[in-house]
Structure 1
Amino acid sequence: MSSLLATQPSGDGVLGVMLVRLQRLPEIRIAHGYAAGEALAAATAQSIGQTLRPGDEVHVLDDAELAVLLPHLRDGNHALLAGLRVLRILDAPVVFGERAVPVSAAVGLAVGPDQGEDPETLLRRAGIAAGQARRGSERCVLYRAGSDATGVPYELLRAALAGNRLEVHLQPILDLARRRWVGIESLARWRDPEGGLVPPLEFIPLAEDTGLVADLTRWSLNTSLRHAARARRAVADLGVSVNLSPRVFGQRDFVAQVLSSLDVWDLPASALTLEVTETALMEDPATGFALLERLRAEDIGISIDDFGSGYSSLAYLKHLPATELKIDRAFVTDLCRDRRSEQLVHSIIDLGHDLGMEIVAEGVEDADTLERLARLGCDRAQGMHIERPQPAGTLIDLLAREAA
């Protein structure tokens, strides 16, 4: 794609780059097979190409993402008109073979030279805009100057991943009945030598929006399991929890990747729990549920993170192959001060137990909250009162001292 952009004539006007992310394609692959996904992407590209100007070019980047080159535009508003036209095309089902399949999409646009003079910058900024379209109310977004000004340049994050310069911090999980640590949650941290500590809320969305999330997930799994293998030498049955981005749901080899990492570090599948938020699952329920079913079939634990803060329904919950519910910290924080919060927490605990799940409370900040959770029947807890997240080596040394 970069080479295609580089060959575009400069000429008059500006060059626009449109990134079209097909949001239902993973679900369609589950329903009709991977060949159908590829055929649908090709048919979508053909539909777009027939509607736009003769000089515009449509390229299929992968099954779920297409790029459109828009030379000789007047300005950014001209690019937006092209993006809105693409969305109107996709409001009607796309026909391929004997199928007519509805496709929803998020469209991001960037125009050069104002928003980037080199191909990689234009592609990245169109990707950032597409990510904003996916998360927001507008389905078509033109990149706005400063919208990626998080202090985390794309190139810096890519280099940090390639150079293995991110770190894992670990936070212990306490069994409330036995009052001992039974698990650790792995949390990605990044301290840039020049910029200092970069918050996860900045670099993780950037990774998701720019295609780096596959590399970030691979790094997180391998590094977390390496530390877990060492930690289990101190506490033999210790489990490790790793957060899972919804952007990996459509990866064909993801389950094999997880199993390979477990094999490398000689860990049983039952030692690993993958955490996913209910909101992330609702972005593409069919694909997410199918992936979780495959992971669960391998004896990997599945945790629904931040439960109660999203918008999933009980109808979905009964079908989830989850082994654990993590109560959102918003309810836990007010547990001892607000009667309704206590009732909600109690209800979540009973509901999870009735469905055969263990319950973990996040954000435990004081002893009173910990004791109240124990009386309500909560299984596990984590938070600053128990132990704050620490560099992996530091926490593993502490585990070893506690176990001695």
Structure 2
Amino acid sequence: MDISSVQRLLPPGWLESAEQRRNLAACGIAVLLLCAAALVYLTGGTRYAYLHTIYLPIILAAVVFKIPGGVLAGVAAGLLVGPFMPIDTATGQAQQAVNWLSRLAAFMVVGAFTGWVAGRLMEQIRSLRWSITHDVDTGLPNRHALSEALRPMLASAEGHGSAQLLMLRIENLNEILNTLGYPVSQALLRAVAQRLEEVTPDGSRVYQVDADRLAALVPAGPWDARSLARDVLSAMRRSVPAGGVNVHASVGLGVAELHDAEGDPDALIRRADIALYAGLQRGARFAVYDIAADRTSRENLALVGEVLDSIREEQFILHYQPKLNLANGKIEGVEALVRWQHPVRGMVPPGDFIPQVESTDLILPLSRWVIEAAIRQQAEWHASGLKLTMAVNLSVTNLYDESLLKDVRALLKAYGLRAESLEFEVTESAIMADPVRALEALRAVRDLGIHLSIDDFGTGYSSLSYLHEIPADIVKIDRSFVTRMNDNEKVGRIVESTIALSHYLNMAVVAEGVSNRRHLDTVAAYGCDAAQGFLIARPMEASAIEDWLKKADWPRPEDTASIGPVWSQSAGF
């Protein structure tokens, strides 16, 4: 009878439970004990070497049943080769009591010690196996456990259903860690995980995939991603008891559906992460994974690796957008804007590579190239009689580059330009990311004589306590305000009051995004100093700037004395 025949005779699942396996092991150990005793007897008795075979079932019993099993097997072995087992079967010589009792004691000690060692080893193994699939501090299932749970789902039909992965990030966890300590932060993670499990549908399971991120694997059902996200966010608005204190957890959510994974658990986790951070970048509390946006993002990220080679191969060029002086109608300056003439993708717009480059140290060599190219072009214009100021954008990384000002000073000297002819534009959000450090860097720029402007003003979160300290000469009002000011009274009031406040602080004001005649006349009526936008001119190459300036056909503001501020007649202003 072969093994398959035996398997057919046994009932299905006969060895699935732990109790059944232990019973089978006990039977096997008993058989081994009897066989070992029989071997001792048949080979001549206890005086011969085959006596040591009795240790095998004792050790096996200790491994399977720990100390109790080892001791019990030791007693059984001691009795089997004890009073009834002769020293020599040929002569029938019996054992003395002291011999077999000492042997029984030795068997019990071996069984007990082996059981203790086996128990400790099994505890360590269980601990290691548990730590592979759980976070040691919070006790929550971890990323590995999530991947293992996803594999069968993705391999089955369920993976093609509406099952979803919710990725939750506790944004203020670092602050809580630094303020209230590590135990409270871990207690917060456990409490948020519990609340997440309570608010998600039955059958959902929560995992900790990173130090500040939790994931909820939600089974297929009639619910949709947006309603789930709203329920979770609503539940998280309530304070969470953690470590004896009530804590508010500020969270963001990203959602990906299982069909987005393409059969790969790690891909699904990564895409839920992408959705999470895409939402946070837009200022939204949750977002659903968008494969089209992700594909574009990956393509743009791949471009970053080509930046250094592209600088060496002179694939980058500068376009220049004029700025119109609203007081005299003259073009007195331009802003240098980088463009990428990619050999494969053609002209790459800055929005496709600048954000990714700014997040790396590659912004340093790119900015240096832009500054040098802009200064070189400005020197050529000055030599030909075009006295235009040049504005160049800087990132927060450039602000903290200690060697930048030294290099700029050398460039200005080499090209014979005054520092006052150069202007650095720094975004409001870059300044406010670290105001104290940024102000120190900006003062160093200002001390050199270079003009400073606050770019995209109104889109960040500037505090008035810092605004009056920023050593800026110019405030640039973001296009998002300029394009809406004629249709929205509150936006119009913001633009007008920003211009007034900037003037009180001895700063000039440039309106960005001026795209029609109404925009131009309105900002002029508000007292704005300069305007920039497609109505005046689109960014163009240096040669085109020269031709355009010769034609001098750009729009100029009308006589705006009678227009007045658009909203000044409203009550309460």
TM range (shorter): 0.5 to 0.7
How far has the Cα of 1:263 moved from its partner? 1.7
1:246 to 396, 420, 430: 396
Q: 2:300 aligns with which of 150, 162, 167?
A: 150
Q: 1:233 to 1:90 in 2, by over 3 A?
A: farther
Higher helix residue share: 2
> What SS does structure 2 have at the residue aligned with 1:302?
strand
* Partner Cα separation in structure 2 for residue 224 and residue 167 of structure 1: 10
Q: Secondary structure at the match of 1:364?
A: coil
Q: Deviations over 1:66-99 (max 9, x none)?
A: xxxxxxx979989xxxxx9xx9799559xxxxxx
For residue 212 of structure 1, the aligned residue among 347, 353, 362 is 362
State how 1:305-320 maps to structure 2 within 5 Å: 305-320=455-470
Q: Does 1:356 align with 2:356?
A: no
Whole-Å separation in 1 of the counterparts to 2:535 and 2:311: 32
Deviation at 1:133, TM superposition (A): 13
Supply the AA of the counterpart residue of 2:410.
Answer: S
For the 8 Å contact 1:296–1:302, the answer to whether it is kept is yes
CA contact (8 A) 2:301 2:356 kept: no
**Mapped partners of 2:174, 2:464: distance in 1:** 33
Does structure 2 retain, via aligned residues, the 8 Å contact 1:327–1:360? Answer: yes
d(CA) in 1 for partners of 2:392, 2:452:
10
Q: How does 1:122-141 map onto structure 2 within 5 Å?
A: none
Aligned position for 1:392 = 542
Aligned partners of 2:313 and 2:302: how far apart in 1?
16
Distance 1:212 1:182 in 2: 32
Structure with more strand by fraction: 1
Matched, 1:255 2:405: yes
What residue is the counterpart of 2:152 in the other structure?
none
Match of 1:201 in 2: 351
- Distance change (3 Å), C-alpha of 1:221 and 1:74: same
The equivalent residue for 2:494 is 344
1:325 to 475, 482, 500: 475
Superposition misfits of 4+ residues, deviation over 6 angstroms: 73-78, 87-90, 131-138
Q: Shift of the alpha carbon at 1:207?
A: 1.5
For 1:271, the aligned partner's letter is S
Greater displacement, 152-161 / 282-291: 152-161
**How many residues matched?**
292
**Larger Rg over CA atoms:** 2
Tell me the residue number matched to 2:322: 172
Name the CA shift for 1:261/1:89 in 2 (closer, same or farther; >3 Å).
same
* In 1, Cα distance between equivalents of 2:403 and 2:551: 39
Distance change >3 Å, CA 148–CA 75, structure 1 → 2: farther
SS in 2 for 1:232: helix
Among residues 282, 286, 305, which one is paired with 2:432 in the alignment? Answer: 282
Corresponding residue of 1:68: none
Identity %: 35
SS for the counterpart of 2:392 is strand
Which runs of no fewer than 5 residues in structure 2 stay unpaired? 1-142, 149-169, 180-210, 213-263, 265-273, 286-290, 554-573
Q: 2:397 is matched by which residue type in structure 1? A: R
TM-score by length of 2: 0.46
Query: Counterpart of 2:423?
Result: 273
Q: Which structure carries more relative contact order (alpha carbon 8 Å, separation 6+)?
A: 1
* SS at 1:390 equivalent: coil
Specify the alignment match of 1:67 in structure 2.
Answer: none
CA positional deviation for 1:395:
1.1
- State TM-score, norm by structure 1: 0.64
Q: Is the 8 A contact 1:157 1:203 kept in 2?
A: no
Question: Could you tell me whether the CA contact under 8 Å between 1:169 and 1:186 is conserved in 2?
Answer: yes
Alpha-carbon separation, structure 2, partners of 1:134 and 1:252: 31
Query: Residue 342 and residue 235 in structure 1: after superposition, are their counterparts in 2 closer, same or farther (change >3 A)?
Result: farther
Over 3 Å counting, the alpha-carbon distance change for 1:387 and 1:235 in structure 2 is farther
- Counterpart of 1:214 in structure 2: which amino acid? L
Go from structure 1 to structure 2 and tell me whether the alpha carbon gap of 1:208 and 1:151 turns closer, same or farther (over 3 Å shift).
closer
* Distance in 1 of aligned mates of 2:472 and 2:146: 45
Closer, same or farther: CA 177–189 of 1 in aligned 2, 3 Å = same
Letter in 2 for 1:396: E
